[in-house]
Chain A
């Protein structure tokens, strides 16, 4: 969940483009993992690399083919454009894979470790560990490589970056690709944990917006912590209220954050 939000935050933070198709990209990542697992027998914990690569290409294509043309247009137009992309992605998935939920079987998913009185689901643990590792890797990439630095430069000041010779368009495309790759990996990694269907996309998008806003748009650390925060709040809500009300908690949280701290808990810029 957090990894997904990190991807979204990257896309928004760098380009000020709100990716409404985010959840649907994740669903595609999940289905790719499912295809790899069921047709080729590749475990999703290895297959996520391929999913990330595929989504990277998709993200690059969307950026180059569509978003690039209207990057200077009003915000509303971008929201609508991405909404259109989301509709296409979600319903193409529906056409190709059908509405029934599917589940990826991983031999690891069934395993459980007992640690004293607690039992730990290996699949969840593994997903969490890989997501953590990817987030750290992304962080390192953004802060310690040239390309990462130019992404951050383009985010801070596109004009300035252009002046000093950065190919801003290329940087944008790469950033969108990486954001999409993150969400593709996130999809592949969560595929063994939860059953999924194409209709998951929209609620996943909303959930990730939720996390990103709570953590602060454009702040990667915020996105990660926001992800943890929302997950914990939802679990607590499920325990103390009722399981069907857990979403209510995160949406109420979202409304409160929007009203009182729209820059999020860790965001630096006010909207």
Chain B
């Protein structure tokens, strides 16, 4: 049953670009892209329950590494993105090691991740070699070998591949002992340690995996939007965008990030389109805020577990 659903959804996703107009297609790309980011975050933030609130830093590192390598050595972004992701993963390892080794939990871990993201933002803003505060602009080539496409449909499929990859990784994590350890750490870390689980090791692994995947998204961001600005890719607002989807959809569930993105991305785009012209900037963020408050108060587990319960109670 689950398999049929998954195959059907993938099939629909595959043919969707054929029927979508340019604007809905652009929204669909964002839905997939932010679902991917959410899924990457979900591994550490959802399954392992370590609220990393500075995840944008990995997007920034991945994006900058890819773009700078391409500009200085001519390395194709297709390879560069993995170098960037590896760097992001390494940074994730450092942040995770420091945070977990010194036993920072909850709010303290949140602050540590935010502080690291801010430090990176300030360093990059002041680093003239990589564009300083203005950032980097990537010239549009339209050459697929340089990760640049004339047709938005190509971007759609790249985003879809990314999302499928992240979902497969999350699924594999969930199915294995590793995932069970992570959930156990989230539920009761002390008990977990008492039972002999090497919590430091598993949290660290989850963090590295999550930041590696997030770093991959950096290249996508850089080349899709043709620009990298320190405040945009390292800033707290992007981190919020990353976190809010899996939270609304259901942190620690396989479908949560996608469902969250399906709800939030079109809503965000819509309110931006509706209110953005009249100078009503920020309307979509007010809405995010209201949704976040509503979710915490009424469906703290997120939409997916809530729906699951609803269906179970009333078997159709």
Which residue numbers of A lie inside 8 Å of B, CB to CB? Answer: 18, 66, 69-70, 73, 75-77, 79-81, 83-92, 94-95, 98-99, 198, 202, 206, 209-210, 213, 242, 244-245, 247-248, 251-252, 254-255, 258-260, 262, 271
Contact = CB atoms under 8 A, between A and B. Distances in A.
Contacts of A213: 111
A21 B217 CA distance: 29
Interface of B: 49, 51, 53, 98, 102, 104-108, 110-112, 114-116, 118-119, 122-123, 125-126, 133, 236-237, 240, 247, 279-283, 285-286, 288-293, 295-297, 300
B38 to A, nearest CB: 14
A247 B282 contact: no
Given A206-B118, A245-B126, A248-B122, A87 B240 contact: yes
B51 A81 contact: no
A1 B285 CA distance: 27
- Which 8 residue pairs of A and B lie closest in terms of their CB atoms, listed nearest first? A87-B289, A84-B292, A91-B282, A88-B289, A94-B282, A84-B293, A91-B285, A75-B106
Contacts of A90: 282, 285
23 contacts: A18-B107, A66-B297, A70-B296, A70-B300, A76-B106, A77-B300, A80-B292, A84-B289, A84-B291, A84-B292, A88-B286, A94-B285, A202-B237, A209-B111, A244-B125, A244-B133, A248-B119, A248-B123, A251-B115, A251-B118, A255-B119, A258-B102, A258-B112
Nearest to B109: A258
A210 B279 CA distance: 33
Q: How would you classify the secondary structure of chain B's contact residues: helix, strand, loop or mixed?
A: helix
A80 B302 CA distance: 12
Contact of A258 (B111, B240, B282, B289): B111
Given A66-B297, A81-B293, A88-B286, A251 B119 contact: yes
B285 A87 contact: yes
Contacts of A87: 240, 285-286, 288-289, 292
Given A84-B289, A87-B240, A258-B104, A95 B297 contact: no
A20 B53 CA distance: 12
Given A70-B300, A259-B102, 16 more contacts: A69-B297, A75-B107, A76-B106, A77-B300, A79-B107, A83-B289, A84-B288, A84-B289, A84-B292, A91-B286, A94-B285, A95-B280, A95-B283, A254-B115, A255-B112, A258-B102
Contacts of A245: 122, 126
